Amino acid sequence: MISNLSIIFPIFNEEKRLPNTFKEIIKFKKNFKKRKLEVIFVDDGSNDKSHQLINNFTNQENSKNLKLKKIILNKNMGKGKALKKGVKESTMSWILTTDVDLSVPLNQVLKWDKKQLIKNNSIVFGSRNLNKSVVIKKRYRFLLGKILNLLTKYILNIRLNDSQCGYKLYKKKPAKEIFSRMTNDGFAHDLEIVLISKKQKLFIQELPVKWTHKDGSKLSFFKDVPKMIIDIIFIRIRNL
């Protein structure tokens, strides 16, 4: 059973989506009952009102069973870097990394826990490509996912159904170990997590999710995809 949990949100210019995220955190806390919950917002150099909104929320809602933290990066470093900072500062026995748009609802982890799906000593990757997953996404995201899966399969020998879903659950000790070794700061950090896990002989378990496409993604096809391909090649070279 997940008795206490840290949730880490990487954030870059999310003033439009943060109010809904705050509401969902409060709802999740009620469902989490009397268990301890820590939420860490890592502001990755935002230049909108994200920092102000996070400040207001953390000042209003901090309590004994809902511990709110904020980490401010002076400039935009990348999603991988933001998660690395958040994991380093986390204190609970379990760590969930997820996206502020909540494409996968926060309570997905409670469903996994209730059904006792989480295997001992495993890292859990939410997967959009399992039969029991419920996925609502746009065609270009589907094609992008297929392209990345092929690249990771043949270049990095990663055989997972879905390495790129942002919804991932870790026990504290392996999470600290993995992220301390991670060097990729961008969107390709997920792939490095897989390779580090394999080196550490950690088991990656894929579980189904309900995933809904949300507009406003920071992933740019023309800017980030070529960079991701280059990152994949460098990750391969480093792990030869």
pLDDT digits over 64-91, tens only?
889 999 999 999 999 999 999 999 999 9
CB 123 within 8 A of CB 202: yes
Question: Measuring CA to CA, which residue among 3, 73, 78 is closest to residue 38?
Answer: 3
pLDDT digits over 99-121, tens only?
999 999 999 999 999 999 998 87
Residue type, 206: E
* CA atoms of 182 and 55, how far apart (whole Å): 29
CA 59 to chain centre: 24
Please tell me the predicted confidence (pLDDT) of residue 222: 59
Q: What is the DSSP-derived secondary structure letter of residue 48?
A: S
Is the Cα dihedral 64, 9, 70, 217 positive or negative? negative
pLDDT above 70: percentage of residues in the chain: 92
Instruction: Say yes or no to pLDDT of 232 above 90.
Output: no
- The residues, any chain, with a CB within 8 Å of residue 25's CB and separated by 6 or more, are 7, 39, 61, 66, 106
SS3 204: strand
Of residues 12 and 236, the one with the higher pLDDT is 12
* CA atoms of 84 and 40, how far apart (whole Å): 12
* CA atoms of 158 and 125, how far apart (whole Å): 13
* CA atoms of 113 and 207, how far apart (whole Å): 11
State the average pLDDT for the chain.
Answer: 89
Of residues 218 and 76, the one with the higher pLDDT is 76
Token reading at 77: 């470093």
Question: Measuring CA to CA, which residue among 100, 47, 92 is closest to residue 74?
Answer: 47
* CA atoms of 148 and 121, how far apart (whole Å): 27
Pairing state between β 36-44 and 210-212: unpaired
Instruction: Say yes or no to pLDDT of 137 above 90.
Output: no
* CA atoms of 182 and 49, how far apart (whole Å): 29
